[in-house]
Amino acid sequence: MIEHTAQEAGAGMAADIAEQAAGYERLLAEGLAPIAAVARQVAELSPRFVLFTARGTSDHAALFAAYLTEIRLGIPAGLASPSSITVYGARPDLRDALVVGVSQSGGSPDLTEVVRVARESGAHTLAVTNNAGSPLADAAQLHIDVLAGKERAVAATKTYTAELLALLLFVEGMRTGSGQLDAADRAELDRLPELARTLIEDPTPTQLAARYRFADRLVTTGRGYAYPTARETALKLMETSYLSALAFSGADLLHGPLAMTDPDVPVLAMVGDGPAGRSMSEVLGRLAERRADVLVVGNGAPAELPAHAVRIGTPAVDERFSPLLDIVPMQRLALALALARGEDPDAPRGLKKVTETL
């Protein structure tokens, strides 16, 4: 649900972004035990694969969870195509699978239908929402509340990062089998709220907005855990500044789309400190050859940045946790850029919070 009253343009989105550190604290304090209980139940069920279903911003959180599931649990995971069920009437055999619906509002009819059909076909079902009383939560056997509170702006920010953390806690809880986190992970996650605050207060994204004020097109890229951040960044820029923003994995960017990059098409590259971040070195090198306008975001340390590239550094954390921090400066860039272009990111033209698609 959105609180939207007459106020300064962007005030709602700014307030939502500012609440993310407190949201992490709340989820770690109040949500950890309920999520651990769900993780323990699902671990006992031993699903043979995990299928996530989501739309929009939540789709990027689901993609992050799919990476976690395969890398950390060794269980095949993927994202469902809701229209195969809601439009074509398909009834796939989902026995012994875990189907996870991820939605901030929990009010999307097509996701609710996917979870309902999956449950009828023998799947274990879980809803991850910001609304415990939603249709999606009612349709699933299990539910995780991301505890983000009311969101003021149409463009999702704090609900996205709350979904990321909730899904991370769930997957890591499944990995231990007890639902509890490893001590090292818990210690690092306890630092998360304060690290988020440093990024919320960093003026760099606002200062960089002028660099992209007159851009018509933009590319975002990343690999592994950083790829969902690239996709979410592109979506935020599209829905608040009406930019034509395209997101590619670093590998896909090298296969054709690289041809669109030049000094007039900015590239926002998510580069973390881990295997995926190191694999972005070739991408950055090819972008340098094309004299692309590059912004590198993250805690990775590329051996060489393209000429004229700029950088937004983020705190050094485990690669799994970087998406919970790297998106914050990108949200703030989207906010500042929209305002610089004379737009109101709280209420993007023609958009509403819940898109009803069947």
CA quadruple 225, 302, 338, 349: dihedral positive or negative?
negative
pLDDT band at 7 (very low <50, low <70, confident <90, very high): confident
| Model confidence pLDDT, tens digit, residues 84-102 | 999 999 999 999 999 999 9
Question: CA 4 to CA 346: how far, in whole Å?
Answer: 8
Amino acid, single-letter form, for residue 148 = A
Please state the rounded mean pLDDT for residues 67-92.
96
| Model confidence pLDDT, tens digit, residues 245-280 | 999 999 999 988 998 888 889 999 999 999 999 999
Q: Which of 267, 239, 241, 220 is nearest to 337 (CA)?
A: 241
Q: Which of 285, 309, 281, 311 is nearest to 298 (CA)?
A: 311
pLDDT of residue 21: 98
User: Any idea what the Cα angle at residue 314 is, between residues 312 and 316, rounded to 5°?
Assistant: 145
pLDDT band at 347 (very low <50, low <70, confident <90, very high): confident
pLDDT of residue 114: 97
Amino acid, single-letter form, for residue 204 = T
Question: CA 253 to CA 57: how far, in whole Å?
Answer: 21
Q: Which domains does the chain have, with CATH numbers?
A: 11-199 (3.40.50.10490), 202-340 (3.40.50.10490)
Q: How far is CA 25 from CA 39, 74, 187, 194, in A?
A: 20, 29, 13, 9
Question: CA 52 to CA 69: how far, in whole Å?
Answer: 11
Question: CA 261 to CA 264: how far, in whole Å?
Answer: 8
Above 80 in pLDDT, residue 358?
Answer: no
